Structure 1
Amino acid sequence: MLINKNLVTLNLKAKTKEEAIKKLAELAQKEGKIASVDEYVKCVLEREKAYTTGVGNGIAIPHGKSKTVKEAVIVFGKTSDGIEWNSLDGKPVNLIFLLGVPEENVNNVHLKILSQLSRKLMNDNFVEILKRAITIEEILNALSDIRVS
């Protein structure tokens, strides 16, 4: 399973993208999805230097392939305080999807996850569901059809 209730936070307290990525990575570590928060965060921040993952509309999809990732994972964070992310539209981010995949990423799992998620995020109704969600179950239901198979 890519995401579960322990990989969702609706009250993310972070002032910077680095802090947000670290806090979400800590959730992944608690669930046994990654071995080292520091190593994984370093990998994700390297990707951020190459190009922003702030895709616009208040959404960011930071991600990274790393040997510290034990199995593919999606961690979702929502914050009421917008976080500066150098987004494509120049606006702050409130919805963050942290994706992690093992370095030996067979079958391009990260591309499959990114593709499915990106397709869903093009749907304004889907984005509204995420923005209005007040329970973890609402988030899990919205993301329930994202698969790696």
Structure 2
Amino acid sequence: MEISEILDKNIIETNLNVATKEEAIEHIVASLKTNDYISEEKAFAQDIYAREKEGKTGIGNYIAIPHGKSSVVDKVGVAIFINKQEIPWESIDEHGVKVIVLFAVGDSNEGAEQHLKLLALFAKKLGNEKVVQNLLAANTADEVIASFAQ
């Protein structure tokens, strides 16, 4: 599985302008609903917040990977939103977040398997300094997708 096969330009945004984690999640969830990845915004957001309570999803370098397995996911997707400024987010390096990589996966056994594969795939790429630099500088969905080609 290649990241370029998973990413959908319709759920990638490089000019998000929010001040809080809650605003960011609300905006991303609405985008997932608009693009038919989920059937219900409120339930999906609740599943994300339930996971957020379990531990930090900020992985450092201004990146967070919030996620939640949910019964309201209609198709697996990875939304990537880049905020104009750093927003407060619980993170392992105590910095806020600019890049949000949100996984939408179902809550079945198959969904759990896809979730682990996506986490492994993205964690490896997001551990690459060049990928992170390119993401932080991306101005278009195409540039976001190209960032992962490193």
Q: Distance in 2 between matches of 1:18 and 1:144?
A: 30
Counterpart check, 1:41 vs 2:45: yes
Aligned residues: 145
Cα root mean square deviation, aligned: 1.6
Alignment of 1:18-97 (within 5 A): 18-97=22-101
State which drifts further: 11-20 or 112-121: 11-20
Stretches of structure 1 that go unaligned for 5 or more consecutive residues are none
Contact 1:66–1:102 (Cα < 8 Å) also in 2: yes
Superposed CA offset, 1:96-144 (max 9, x none): 0010101114161000000000000111011111111112111123347
- 2:106 is the alignment partner of 1:98: no
Q: How far apart, CA to CA, are the structure 2 residues paired with 1:22 and 1:144?
A: 29
Q: Helix, strand or coil: the match of 2:82? A: strand
Mapped partners of 1:80, 1:62: distance in 2: 18
Q: Which ranges in structure 2 are unaligned for 5 or more consecutive residues?
A: none
Distance 1:62 1:139 in 2: 18
- Of the three residues 139, 142, 146, the one matched with 2:144 is 139
SS in 2 for 1:49: helix
Deviation at 1:65, TM superposition (A): 0.4
Give the structure-2-normalised TM-score.
0.91
**Quick one: percent identity of the two aligned structures?**
33
Q: Give 1:4 deviation, angstroms.
A: 1.2
Q: 1:19 is paired with a residue of what secondary structure? A: helix
| Mapped contact 1:65–1:105 kept (Cα < 8 A) | no
TM-score (norm 1): 0.91
* SS of the residue 1:94 aligns to: strand
Greater mean deviation of Cα atoms: 45-54 or 9-18: 9-18
Shift of 1:10: 0.7
Matched, 1:112 2:91: no
Which amino acid is 1:99 matched to?
A: F
Structure 1 residues 64 and 29: alpha-carbon distance in aligned structure 2, compared to 1, 3 A threshold: same
